[in-house]
Structure 1
Amino acid sequence: MRELKIFISISTLIVTALIVAFFLVVFSNASEDVQREKDNTLVQIAAHLRHAEASQQMTETLLKHYNLEDIDINGFQANSDTSTHWLISIFPRTNRKFVISENSNYVVGHLNTARILDGPISIFTSFLAVVLISWLLLILVYIRILRSTHDSLESLIQSGLVPKHPVLGNIGELLTQQQQEVKQTQQSLEEEKLNIYQNSLLHPLTRLRNKLSFNDYINERLNDGDIKNHSAVVFIRGTQLAKINETLGGEHGDRYLVDLKQIIDSSSSRVSKRLIFHFNGAEFVCFGEFKTEQQLSLFLSELCSAIQHYSSKQNYDSTAVVAATHLDNKGNYVDLMRRLYLGIASAQLTNLDGWVIQEDDQVNVDDDQQWGQILKQVIDAGNITLESQAIQTTATMSQRYSEIYCRFKDAQDNYLPTQTTFVMAQRLGFAENLEKTVIRKILKTIPKTQHSDRHFGINISEDALLSKSFLIWLERELNLDLGLCKKLVFEIPEHVLLAHQNACLRFCIVLRRLGCRVAISHFGEGFDSFKLLEEIKPNYVKLHRKIIENIATDVASKHICRLVIDVAHQLNVLAIAEGVEDREQRQLLERYHIDGIQGYLVGKPQSMIA
């Protein structure tokens, strides 16, 4: 057995160490006894020869036999101190011991050192015998214990009380197995860590490298100076994602992103050293090397041609805009992104699904002037199209509800990108006037609709909420028709409420005084969401689509949804679910006693009658 071998090996080492230690101690003491005996013998010989009569012939005989193995001294007599000193001086070199015979005048024979060592040897032999016998007895006892344990274990195994193969098994084998498992676990953890890091650099939907990967790649290229001539970065921004998510739902928005990725991938297949990144949201970046400026322009034309074909097929006003800029060793990441964003702004002004090559990072004054003219024309002419999406009510919500969306047109009756229009209006100082134009258009359109008996949700921008002059103007406009105010529901995003609670609370007080209602949209994003319900006291709360889209599969989303609905009902607030896309979500929400359902499943946005 392995345990017995280990025990015998360890015990043998211990016994050997004890024997060696004892041997060293005993014979070190014995050597001291021999030296003392030599000294005593020399003293005795010297004392005897000092009074003895010795001949010169005997002295010569001793000198003659100085190096012989046996020296027989007969009749040596010392009559002077010289003989004594001589004998004492040669004695250590001869390695001999002499004794005095019965006749004190002669030195005869040898002194046997064995007489001195007889005592230590006998003690060491006795100790060795005791140690060996004890060691053998200990091994026999241990073997007996092992056999007894083995027999008991066999009887337990035969009786069925103990499994035949122990859980722990052999201790050494268990330790080896555990070491192997630890190594495998460490290896799997390293692989998992690497996979997590690699996945963190990929967009979960398109599986393209994300913004973090793009930043690392560009910074590395700029720092290393490894940039060839005509290297370019092409920035593609999708223009339909927000609208698709709001009207058709997140599933259609994901499909739109995948289609856009495939368009970029197929169009750039012939680009040298091509790399495609999913930068953010509906933004993509394509890096490549182009031998000539004409090659870059040809690629951009082919890309935008494919985008326009997709827009026509899907009946979109616009799918994406494209901007490109050159990359050189003297630039940096900030300048690169500034040029790309300026190029995107310029491309949105040229034509839908167009492209621009941005050569520098200077603001194009002509573009700003053109946007200013477009915005002024939209505000003056009121080129705004209104659409409404109905919210399906349940038994707990008797009043019908529709949310209003707006779209802008230029002088040629072409649709403008809604998000870009708001951004450029804010940049050029037209935000408040554009907001007023939209509100004025809504107030004039609602009484003319076929469903004027329902409530209408109006989205308010962050700039309008924070503007005191806009609040004064809105209060004056609403006072002109207080009956219409009872049909209006002003929707404020949750993140705006969390960032500007005092300004939003003041805005809500004015609206309630006029008879309007308030709704918190995109509810459930922050940690202080429930605190807003108590402070703002809205009439409606609209659950964020991110909670709704996972409600069928995610337990946490189910609990959050039920909690929001229960808390809202306790505060007499009606709960509406945003972005409902399938029947399973609808059935779960109805089971949780939701008050209203909004999404592509129950209704698409439709034009309001002007």
Structure 2
Amino acid sequence: MTSFRYSQLFLVFVFCGLTFITYSINQADFAHSREQELTKYTASIATQSNWQGNGKALYQHLTTSFNFQFFQYIDTNDSDNSFTHGKLLAESRSIIKNIYQIDIPLTRTLANGRLQVKLAIDKELTAVSNRFQYQLLLIWGTFLLISVFNVLLAALHAKKLRYSCKIIDDLPNFTFHAIQKSKLKGEFTPLAKVLESCQSNLKAKVDEFNDAHEKLTRVAFQDPVTGFGTRAKFTEKLNEICLPNSQQLGVLAIVRATELAVINQLHGREAGDDYLTRIANHIRKSLVKSPNAYFYRISTADFALILPDISLKDGTTIIEELKVAFDEYQQNLGTDSVAYIGLCPYLQGCDPVSLMTLADTAVSIAQTLGPNSFHVQQKLSGDELFGDSRWKIAIDDILKRKAIKFYAQPIRPCRTNIESYRELLSRFYNDQGKFLPTTTVIAMAERHGMSEELDKLVILKTLSTLINMPSLTGLFGINISSSSANQESFVAWLKNILVRQRHLAARLVFEVSESGMQTNLSATYHFINEVHSVGARVSIERFGLGFTSFKFFKDVRPDFIKLDGSYTRGIISDTHNQFFVKMIIDIARKLMIKVIATSVENQQEKLAMEQLLLDGLQGYYIAKPTPLITVSKSEKLK
């Protein structure tokens, strides 16, 4: 309201100035009239300068023409002729009359005496004061009207400003009001337009930020491959259903996609993502009758399903439908399995850690029951590692029953003078004849320190197969773990077995991963030297991932190196990849080492690799793994 105060102050100055001007004009008019009266009196008294009569007579003579406030004649010769009338000092008057008061006593010496008068001004003074009073009333009445108008206008502006401020104050709270233009008319119309535009633009920005936030939320809390929630969202939901006052019940299921690592290795990450997407789609379709279900991807190959407000029986029915879908997908995928499922019930107040242990135990047990199996675990057995313990029992059973079958995948040579081999892929099965996930079996064997026994079983089974099937010719590759290859006791056992079967040892190629062999170079040298000493050969698989690859195979001198599948997948368009492969081939040729490309999946990759003059090709486009038929007769090797 500073402008209002300034305007009022300006009006006060203006009207004070008007008042002063009016006063000055009236004062000048009044002074002029008095001056004329004095001039007339002066002229009249001049004719009486030789007056020698009575003072009273003089007074009576002069009053016919003038009004006196005070009249005094003092005769110097005869005091009887002296005469005094009126008062020299005027009676009290109003303030306005006082400001126009002009008291000018006039003294005149006559022939025989002295005359002192003071002319009366009451009539003129009253007239001028009345006129000035009227003018003051008019001036300050106008001031009052203007001030009242200004006050009302300022109040109206203040009201509009408060309304505008309220709208602006609500903007940070993202509260958008419809602008009432009737409240912001006149000079406030531009402000109404600006506020409306500001609200519109801010709302558009807020919507834009909300969209961006939603996208970021999806990135942070939604898996980009499957569209399921992330582990963070699962943890939040798990804690919610486990609250003491949640009053929730339902079923928790864990789906483990055990073939992801194999598919990534053989076909690339795009194929692995497609595999996970297909599993996610099967989960959605199977749970379409449970609209309240929640889906999460909680790790690389694990999914979590929360099915609220259903019984364990109904949950089992849903999971059975999901297993059927997995079985159908397995036929198209061509793998040992698709995924395994473990499920358990939950109630309010349950412990999240115990619930996850229960579900993990269930899925671990399911993996020992055959392809795409599921298992229901209603309560803990008291052993939190029950699932792992179950795997130890399952692997012991595999070793005891020698429950292993072979699939063979050939490596096609690129030239006629190149000797190649077929890779034997181990498949383990349970006591019901159902295949178990190979990668899980191997991982669990390493966890329980049983990988060496498992590798021995694979080697003995291979030798038995070659002995009992003399029709099988050529070289055969056997996968063994790098941990076994680095154990002196295992290498001594292997050499002893191969010495007794030298005619078969020359047909074996032991495949070991490069990363595992680089961890202990001295043990690697020993393993390769001992294998070579009995006529067998060594192939380093997944070659090229380590930084010391060139120095490694230069010093170790394996018989074969199998390039990691990532080189094949990028060979067509990646010139750096082509250069690296050419360099490997050039160095390998000088060292008499054969180079094999893996994960060849299409004609373009095959032609590109052949143009680079590799020694052999392996992949689903070349040949898929097929069962190696064995006879029932077996020979026990010691």
Q: TM-score range by the shorter chain?
A: 0.5 to 0.7
Cα deviation, residue 550, structure 1: 2.8
Taking structure 1 as reference, are residues 607 and 577 closer, same or farther at Cα in structure 2, changes over 3 Å only?
same
CA drift at 1:263: 1.4
Matched, 1:538 2:561: no
Residues 142-181 of structure 1: pairs in structure 2 closer than 5 A: none
**Aligned partners of 2:350 and 2:263: how far apart in 1?**
37
Change (3 A) 1:446 1:229: same
2:254 paired residue number: 235
Q: Does residue 605 in structure 1 map to residue 613 in structure 2?
A: no
Q: Residue 510 of structure 1 corresponds to which residue in structure 2?
A: 530
2:478 is the counterpart of 1:458: yes
Q: Which residue of 1 aligns with 2:303?
A: 284
Query: Taking structure 1 as reference, are residues 293 and 465 closer, same or farther at Cα in structure 2, changes over 3 Å only?
Result: same
Distance, in Å, in 1 between the alignment partners of 2:588 and 2:213 is: 42
Q: Mark the structure with the bigger radius of gyration.
A: 2
Q: SS of the counterpart of 2:452?
A: helix
> In 2, distance between residues paired with 1:275 and 1:534?
53
Determine the C-alpha separation between the residues in 2 that align with 1:226 and 1:505. Answer: 63
2:413 equivalent in structure 1 = 393
Q: CA deviation at 1:236?
A: 0.7
Aligned CA distance change for structure 1 residues 373 and 332 (closer, same or farther; 3 Å) = closer
Deviation per CA, 1:18-56: give whole Å up to 9, x if none: xxxxxxxxxxxxxxxxxxxxxxxxxxxxxxxxxxxxxxx
- Is 1:474 the counterpart of 2:499? The answer is no
TM-score, reference length from structure 1: 0.60
Q: 1:421 aligns with which of 425, 435, 441?
A: 441
Of residues 544, 552, 563, the one that matches 1:524 is 544
Change (3 A) 1:192 1:474: farther
How big is the shift at 1:443?
A: 1.9
1:516 positional shift: 2.5
> Structure 2 CA distance, aligned partners of 1:404 and 1:462?
17
Residue 402 (structure 2) aligned to one of 377, 382, 391: 382
SS at match of 2:288: coil
1:275-323 Cα offsets, whole Å, 9 max, x none, are: 2223444432222312434333333333334334544676766432211
**Distance in 2 between the 1:402 and 1:420 partners?**
24
Q: Which structure 2 residues correspond to residues 514-593 of structure 1 after superposition, within 5 A?
A: 514-593=534-613
Indicate conservation of the 8 Å contact 1:226/1:329, yes or no. yes
On the 8 A contact 1:387/1:404 being kept in 2, the answer is: yes
Q: CA deviation at 1:440?
A: 0.6
**CA spacing shift, 1:222–1:314, aligned 2, 3 Å:** closer
Superposed, 1:21-420 pairs within 5 Å as 198-199=218-219, 201-211=221-231, 214-215=234-235, 218=238, 221=240, 227-242=246-261, 254-311=273-330, 318-326=337-345, 334-350=353-369, 352-360=371-379, 362-363=382-383, 374-395=394-415, 398-420=418-440
CA–CA separation in structure 1 for the residues paired with 2:211 and 2:452: 54
Contact 2:312 2:344 in 1 (8 A): no
Q: How big is the shift at 1:514?
A: 2.6
In the other structure, the counterpart of 1:169 is none
Q: Per-residue deviation at 1:589?
A: 1.5
Note if contact 1:236-1:323 (Cα within 8 Å) is conserved in structure 2. yes
Equivalent residue letter for 1:418: T
Shift of 1:243: 5.3
Q: Which residue of 2 aligns with 1:594?
A: 614
Return the alpha-carbon distance in structure 2 between the equivalents of residues 189 and 483 of structure 1. Answer: 73
What secondary structure does 2:613 align onto? Answer: coil
In the TM superposition, what whole-angstrom CA distance separates every residue of 1:165-213 from its partner, at most 9, and x where no partner exists?
Answer: xxxxxxxxxxxxxxxxxxxxxx999988985774465545434344465
Amino acid at match of 2:561: V
Deviations 1:213-238 (A, max 9, x none): 5456656x489889551154311123
State how far apart, in whole Å, the 1-side matches of 2:432 and 2:412 are: 36
DSSP 3-state at the match of 1:415: coil
Residues in 2 aligned to 1:567 and 1:330: alpha-carbon distance in whole angstroms: 64
* SS at 1:273 equivalent: coil
Instruction: Judge conservation of contact 1:449–1:608 (CA < 8 Å) in 2.
Output: no
Structure-1 residue corresponding to 2:463:
443
Identity across matched positions, percent: 26
Please give the alpha-carbon distance, in whole angstroms, between the structure 2 residues aligned to 1:453 and 1:312.
30
- In 2, Cα distance between the equivalents of 1:459 and 1:558? 28
Q: In structure 1, how many angstroms separate the alpha carbons of the residues matched to 2:526 and 2:345?
A: 49
Match of 2:408, SS state, is: strand
In 1, Cα distance between the equivalents of 2:590 and 2:214?
A: 48
For the Cα contact (< 8 Å) 1:272–1:288, is it kept in 2? no
Which amino acid in structure 2 is aligned with residue 452 of structure 1? T
Q: Is the 8 A contact 2:323 2:372 kept in 1?
A: yes
Distance 1:565 1:241 in 2: 30
How far 1:405 moved relative to its partner?
0.6
| Residue identity in the other structure for 2:497 | E
1-side partners of 2:209 and 2:417: how far apart? 52
Amino acid at match of 1:338: T
SS of residue in 2 equivalent to 1:416: coil
Find the counterpart in structure 2 of residue 89 from structure 1: none
How many angstroms does 1:472 deviate by? 1.8
What TM-score do you get using the length of structure 2 for normalisation? 0.58
Q: Indicate the residue corresponding to 1:163 in structure 2.
A: none
Aligned-partner SS, 2:504: helix
Structure 1 residues 394 and 535: alpha-carbon distance in aligned structure 2, compared to 1, 3 A threshold: same
CA distance in 2, matches of 1:438, 1:484: 15
Give the match's secondary structure for 2:292. Answer: strand
Q: Deviations over 1:231-273 (max 9, x none)?
A: 5431112344455566777666555433322211111123253
Count residues with an aligned counterpart. 445
Classify the secondary structure of the residue corresponding to 2:293: strand
Aligned to 1:346, the other structure's residue is in SS state helix
433-442 vs 342-351, greater mean Cα deviation: 342-351
**Does the 8 Å CA contact 1:349/1:367 hold for their aligned counterparts?**
no
Please say if residues 386 and 405 of structure 1, whose CA atoms lie closer than 8 Å, have aligned partners that are also in contact.
yes
Runs of 5+ in structure 1 lacking a partner? Answer: 1-67, 69-186
Name whichever of 556-565 and 363-372 sits farther off: 363-372
1:41 alignment partner in structure 2: none
The separation in 1 between residues aligned to 2:216 and 2:495, in whole angstroms, is: 53
C-alpha distance 191-258 of structure 1, shift in aligned 2 (>3 A):
closer
- Please tell me whether the aligned partners of residues 404 and 426 of structure 2 are also in contact (alpha carbons under 8 angstroms): yes
Aligned-partner Cα distance in 2 for 1:225–1:247: 47
Tell me: CA distance 1:590–1:331, structure 2 relative to 1, closer, same or farther (3 Å): farther
- Give the deviation of 1:491 after TM superposition: 1.4
| 1:389 partner SS | strand
* SS across alignment from 1:579: coil
